[in-house]
Amino acid sequence: MQIRRHPLRFHEDDRGVRYCDVFPIPQGDINVVVIYPGAMSAWHRHQQQDDYQLCIKGALKFGLCDKPASQGGTVEWVYSSERSAKDGALFVPRGMWHGHYNFTDKPAIVLYWITNKYNPKDEERMSIEAMGFDWMRPAK
């Protein structure tokens, strides 16, 4: 028997490194992202996928909101870390604005499952200023 490897899709930008299609599943993607210290991935949303995210190394501030503050939107802040992983994965339903911020000086690693294959054309982004929520304010 010969050991085989399943090929991954790989994406890197200034926020971190993403390993996509970690396992050969027909529906969705199981992905790993390494988020660099000080990096923020906010705000964005998807119309064609739900997300389940689990921080397995390091710590992140995670935000989820329905619409910009100027439209009466509200935001929920959660600190997520390897220590809180026992509480379960964070669920992000399709259409909700979300993101995370690595406020530490070490990389953070998130394992996540999305219900459809990642499609960059399905990712809509909005600037922090346009959303109107302050990531630097401590979560309550």
Do residues 62 and 80 make contact, with C-beta atoms less than 8 angstroms apart? yes
Decide if pLDDT at 130 tops 90. Answer: yes
Q: What is the pLDDT of residue 3?
A: 67
Q: What is the pLDDT of residue 35?
A: 95
Do residues 41 and 99 make contact, with C-beta atoms less than 8 angstroms apart? yes
- Look at the domain 9-116 and name its fold: Jelly Rolls (2.60.120)
Closest CA to 133 of 60, 39, 41, 64: 64
Query: Residues of 79-101 as b/e, b for ≥16 C-beta within 10 angstroms?
Result: ebeeeeeeeebbebeeebbbbbb
Band of the pLDDT at 140, cuts 50, 70, 90?
Answer: low
Segment 1-20 mean pLDDT: 79
- pLDDT, one tens digit per residue, over 78-101 is 999 988 888 888 999 999 999 999
Query: In what order do the strands lie in the sheet containing 51-57?
Result: 9-13, 16-20, 29-35, 108-114, 51-57, 90-92
Sign of CA dihedral 88, 94, 98, 100: positive
What does pTM read for this prediction?
Answer: 0.82
Band of the pLDDT at 139, cuts 50, 70, 90?
Answer: low
Closest CA to 44 of 13, 8, 6: 13
Q: What is the pLDDT of residue 4?
A: 73
